[in-house]
Structure 1
């Protein structure tokens, strides 16, 4: 048996993709470059710079780069959650994080370790503040 098909009475708009080819290419590149938040890596790097054992001179640049990435990720999360408008402490930590992130590590090893420890401290404080304001779940 065959049924009689329905005919549309109202005209239906032709579907159009929401983005053109160039915009889709840009979006795909951003998706491929995206890195998930890794709380364990963040805590490991913070522990490495705040530990009693001073990081080796060869590790300073690598640790500084990783901490800059963690700071950038945390600030991005805070901006997306609009927490800086609700919480003055978070806004202050975000400002400090932005300032530290653009600074270069000093050439002197002792000063570079101090710089790493400041970055580690701000990273840890911002992480704890984002957990307290419910922007993030507690990191392991």
Structure 2
């Protein structure tokens, strides 16, 4: 490898964050609870859940888990939700957060079932 390629690799390693299943489950619990999260936390939760979905989709692609039809459907849903902006209005934003949460939870569960991920405690 030349120095440019090594530098690029180093920057990617420095920016890498490991998948944290416990953080995902905490965020899912926060948005799927009977009591909606506070309005001031909505944007931050949406951003974190979108990040969880992006990491899960990356895991799917890297492990070639998209061959599983359920995973393939969840990936389509995850990509669509990831691309959507947080809607205006409290009820619409909560509905969006819950869709993000359900999709992240279902994809995480399915990847655990097919042994692409270890179960988070």
Task: Report the structure number with the largest CA radius of gyration.
Answer: 1
What RMSD over aligned residues (CA atoms) do the two structures have, in Å?
0.5
Structure 1 unaligned segments of length 5 or more: list them.
1-18
Q: Distance in 1 between matches of 2:61 and 2:113?
A: 15
Structure 1 residue 51 corresponds to structure 2 residue 55: no
| The one of 69, 78, 90 aligned to 1:97 | 78
Structure 1 residue 31 corresponds to structure 2 residue 13: yes
Aligned length: 121
Q: Distance in 1 between matches of 2:18 and 2:69?
A: 27
Report runs of 4+ in structure 1 exceeding 4 Å deviation: none
Q: Taking structure 1 as the reference length, what is the TM-score of the superposition?
A: 0.85
Structure 1 residue 126 corresponds to structure 2 residue 113: no
Q: Taking structure 2 as the reference length, what is the TM-score of the superposition?
A: 0.98
Q: Distance in 2 between matches of 1:36 and 1:83?
A: 19
Structure 2 unaligned segments of length 5 or more: list them.
none
Q: Distance in 2 between matches of 1:109 and 1:32?
A: 37
Q: Distance in 2 between matches of 1:115 and 1:121?
A: 10
- Larger relative contact order (Cα-Cα within 8 Å, sequence gap ≥ 6): 2
| The one of 41, 64, 84 aligned to 1:82 | 64
